[in-house]
Chains A and B, each alone.
Chain A
Amino acid sequence: MNLTLKIWRQPDATSAGAMHTYELSEVSPDMSFLEMLDVLNEQLNDKGEEPIAFDSDCREGICGTCGLMINGEAHGPEVTTTCQLHMRSFSDGETITIEPWRSDAFPVVKDLIVDRSAFDRIIQQGGYISVNTGSAPEAHSVPVPRDDAMRAFNVATCIGCGACVAACPNGSASLFMGAKITHLGELPQGQPERDSRVVNMVAQHDHEGFGGCTNIGACTAACPKEIPLDVISQLNKDLRTAIKHGH
């Protein structure tokens, strides 16, 4: 396959960026999208042009490190992560536009890399269950209904990639946050801190500059782990309850 690639390049956080155009030939349909960029980078390096910086680590769709806007879609045309996207999803002669996540709360670090540390700060405000090492009771002392455990698991599969934010016209992180609140809220262990968790996480979310949710649903459509939209309803419900409880 031969491709025309339009790629965002930006030397660092403070400099201005611009789209650059590259031609790439002999792309195999079996390459992953990131391997295609590896090949391009080898060619750039040979020519004396600095390779394009982009993030990835596991390349198995689980660590959440990768993430690119591909032709305007977060993680590209399939329901998967950028690293698990393969070139067979594109066609010969195609022009592909590649940009970093765009969101005020995710400033660009360099080229296609953004700073997502806001997610860690949201978790710091309550995305956990307070239990010091060694103080846990025997694991079987609290049975958890299988359906609750399954639901908790399904939403706990969020990889923190940020595609939901990138896809959202408001730049909201409600899907990410709702997934965590639902994960912990489904479990008996998560009940004692349920009210304070939602209140504090939402406050941090707003403080970081993420936008509000207006129920567009672009987040869930872009989410590689198919986190359902109803986690946001759960988040709102928990928030109302917490406020009722005087938070």
Chain B
Amino acid sequence: MDMPDTVTSAEASPSGFLDGDYDDAVGYYTPGDPVVDTKAPDGPIAERWQNRKFEARLVNPANRRKLSIIIVGTGLAGASAAATLGEAGYRVKSFCYQDSPRRAHSIAAQGGINAAKNYKEDGDSVHRLFYDTVKGGDYRSRESNVYRLAEVSTNIIDQCVAQGVPFAREYGGLLDNRSFGGVQVSRTFYARGQTGQQLLIGAYQALERQVAAGTVETYTRHEMLELVTVDGKARGIIARDMVTGEIETHIADVVVLASGGYGNVFYLSTNAMGCNVTAAWRAHRKGAYMANPCFTQIHPTCIPVSGSHQSKLTLMSESLRNDGRIWVPKNQADCEKDPRDIPEEDRDYFLERIYPSFGNLVPRDIASRAAKNMCDEGRGVGPEVDGVRRGVYLDFAAAIERLGRAGVEEKYDNLLDMYERITGENPYEVPMRIYPAVHYVMGGLWVDYDLQSTIPGLFVTGEANFSDHGANRLGASALMQGLADGYFVLPHTIRDYLADGPFEEISEDHPAVVEARESVKGRIDHFLSVNGTRSVDSYHRELGNIMWEYCGMERSEDGLKKAIDLIRSLKDDFYRNVKVLGSAETLNQSLEKAGRVADFFELGELMCIDALNRRESCGGHFRAESQTEDGEALRHDDEYAYVSAWEWAGDDAAPVLHKEDLVYTAIEMKQRSYK
């Protein structure tokens, strides 16, 4: 995919935008003080991380054994941190809800991981990766963090190769790279279509090695349900043993959340079934700010929904757009026909038509929105689900003609096979059907340069934090961030916090601990005692529909306000009418889901408020009110070049908005254009 031309903000005059304060969210939130200190060091951008590492205090190896760390999550961000901190000699407890750390959702990542190795001598560098990431994030990320990410990216590859991660190699035995996700250099390392799996197994093995060494203890099938704070500091978690139902208290000197993303607020997404916001949300309710919650990435090439039984969506690599042509019938009457019977002149290759210079290769959000528009117009294809056909064709006929069937097979065989297994249709004969799906969330808990949240002693890594991707994430950069955080950043910044140890002993009957435990039990008792009429899944599906409809690819003031009302009343109904059977003392999957969905309601509402406040279009966030005459996204740097950091103010109070201004010293802000 080629890089789009860019023009500076000044050139792309924001026509139709009136001066003055547009704040659609008035009444939905309380303005708070700005965030002033992000702890980002001063000085030349290339020296900041070296300086911070030097200034961060050390902990004497003999003292590390006395310091304890809880890490929630065993994905790339959590397993890498647990292994590294275990190696350093701290006492680590590692938690995950799956039956093994190796099954964290990172395992599903397909495409690859970026690193500025410049093995191809194609002009890549730390600075270019930094630049691409900030630009890809549409200038809504913090430059110091992104620079550091690019800087440590090269160490990640060294580490993984040494662990035995079997990356793809060339005939000479050196590592192969490919170009990915709209950049012009080849910097993506990959292991066929299973890069996440191979990286996670590497981190998992390093973690298990520490278990054998006695530095890390793993708690599988354990779900964190509350954060314990004492005197304003994070000091532990309350977790439920998902097999016995026991509510356990775990105390430590510091807590790390590496609990992944919350895309499942949309019910249907490419995330694993168990992905949730509970760990992060419980911390949010205890004082950790939530940043840019509305920034969601929607991926254009997923397999469409086949019926109301659909439980999740499957991603198809976007590399398919390199050779496949996307179209819908020109006439609604043709939508039911066999696509092979629709003549060329009756097909609308809409991306090629609307975006002649980029065609099928426009960025993810543009491709997604265009597909939605076609289906909303009634020109979607595939089965009707709830009265609408949500799918567009991705056609390989021209590619087969050009490259031959063997040529297409060589490039895409595993993907096309997967498609056939799921849909039962052969894509070499019938055009594939695709539709956008929620894939990743850029939003997450707010962290400073040290990856510390607004609760001292609570650190957040990986997709669970908001830090590096701004309003949109480049392909192959989430894996990079997870491993950067866990292997190379957190271990340095956390030691500065731990250097204040030893910390006060906290007993399990400390009032703050008792309170946390009782609130968890209270919630569980509530869910089991409602005995209403509707299943948890039915509420989750309905919440997902609201989010998808009003806080999905395109957001508007009216829609968001409506969504907030709908979510509030659905949530009320949920607490009064949900039906959770079984007991608290055994494995109970409905009970687990009830807790997660309860937190998704609150998150969903905040996402809508955040989207309402941000009356601009940037990255994956498209506000109907902020577009050019041609329907392209329009960013407003003068008004919205800030991170929205939301503070929980209580169950019956509006959230408080703290703004962190984004200042760019090493890069100039530019508007994008794909026409």
Contact = CB atoms under 8 A, between A and B. Distances in A.
Genuine A/B complex? yes
Interface string B81-106: 00110010000000000111111010
Contact of B166 (A12, A116, A132, A149): A149
B587 A31 contact: no
B587 A110 contact: yes
A114 to B, nearest CB: 9
Interface in A141-155: 142-146, 149-150, 152-153
Interface string B288-325: 00000000000000000011011110100000000000
Chain B's interface size range is 35 or more
B208 A124 contact: yes
A119 B100 contact: yes
Contact of A136 (B158, B171, B175, B586): B158
B388 interface: no
B628 interface: no
Contacts of B274: 57
B582 A50 contact: yes
A178 to B, nearest CB: 16
Contacts of A109: 243, 587
Contacts of A228: none
B307 A30 contact: yes
Interface string A26-55: 001111101110110010011011110101
B198 interface: yes
A27 B243 CA distance: 31
Contacts of A133: 80, 83-84, 87, 159, 206, 487-488, 491
B168 A123 contact: no
B198 A156 contact: yes
A140 interface: yes
A22 interface: no
A42 B211 contact: no
A136 B162 contact: yes
A11 B587 CA distance: 9
Contacts of B577: none
B38 interface: no
Contacts of B172: 143
Given A62-B108, A86-B421, A140 B206 contact: no
Nearest to A125: B212
Contacts of B102: 64, 120, 160
Listed residue (B198, B209, B307, B590) with the most chain A CB atoms within 10 angstroms of its CB: B209
Q: Chain A interface secondary structure, helix, strand, loop or mixed?
A: loop
B98 A65 contact: yes
Contacts of A1: none
Interface stretch (B21-29, B189-197, B443-451): B189-197
Nearest to A160: B102
A214 interface: no
Interface string B313-345: 010000000000000000000000000000000
Interface string A92-120: 00000000000000000110010111011
A58 interface: yes
Contacts of A58: 103, 105, 107-108, 272-273
Given A38-B309, A62-B107, A63-B272, A144 B205 contact: no
Contacts of A230: none
A62 B535 contact: no
A57 B174 contact: no
A51 B590 contact: yes
A80 interface: yes
Given A133-B491, A139-B175, A145-B173, A65 B99 contact: yes
A206 interface: no
Interface string A59-92: 1101111000000000000001000101010000
B480 interface: no
B514 interface: no
Interface string A223-237: 000000000000000
A189 B192 CA distance: 20
Contact of B99 (A39, A115, A159): A115
B201 interface: yes
B208 A55 contact: no
A150 B194 CA distance: 13
Given A39-B309, A86-B424, A136-B161, A55 B99 contact: yes
A31 to B, nearest CB: 5
A153 B173 contact: no
Nearest to B158: A136
Nearest to B167: A149
A131 B202 CA distance: 11
Interface string B235-258: 000000001000000000000000
B155 interface: yes
B103 A63 contact: yes
Interface in B571-615: 579, 581-582, 586-587, 589-590
A116 B99 contact: yes
A117 B537 CA distance: 29
Contacts of A184: 164
Given A120-B208, A153-B166, A139 B158 contact: yes
Contacts of B204: 123
B205 A63 contact: no
A10 B105 CA distance: 28
A42 B541 CA distance: 13
Contact of B164 (A120, A146, A189): A189
A57 B155 contact: no
Contacts of B590: 45, 50-51
Interface in B421-467: 421-424
A190 interface: yes
Contact of A146 (B171, B206, B491, B538): B171
A60 B27 CA distance: 43
Given A84-B421, A128-B205, A140 B587 contact: no
B503 interface: no
Interface in B145-193: 155, 157-164, 166-175, 191-192
Interface in B627-649: none
Contacts of B581: 45, 48-51
A128 B101 CA distance: 15
Contacts of A31: 306-307, 309
Interface in B532-552: 535, 537-538
B166 A29 contact: no
B301 to A, nearest CB: 14
Nearest to A157: B194
A128 B119 CA distance: 27
Listed residue (B166, B212, B309) with the most chain A CB atoms within 10 angstroms of its CB: B166
A96 B529 CA distance: 34
A172 to B, nearest CB: 19
B192 A153 contact: yes
Interface in B94-130: 98-103, 105, 107-108, 117, 119
B30 interface: no
Contacts of A183: 164, 166
Contacts of B383: 30
A58 B119 CA distance: 33
Contact of B197 (A55, A119, A145, A157): A157
9 contacts: A30-B306, A30-B383, A35-B311, A51-B590, A115-B99, A133-B87, A143-B169, A152-B166, A187-B166
Interface of A: 11-12, 28-32, 34-36, 38-39, 42, 45-46, 48-51, 53, 55-60, 62-65, 80, 84, 86, 88, 109-110, 113, 115-117, 119-120, 123-125, 127-140, 142-146, 149-150, 152-153, 156-157, 159-160, 183-184, 187, 189-190
Given A53-B587, A120-B208, A136-B163, 17 more contacts: A12-B586, A38-B309, A42-B535, A45-B581, A49-B581, A51-B581, A56-B273, A59-B272, A63-B105, A86-B424, A88-B424, A119-B100, A139-B162, A149-B168, A159-B197, A160-B103, A190-B164
The 3 nearest A-B residue pairs measured at CB: A143-B173, A136-B162, A128-B205
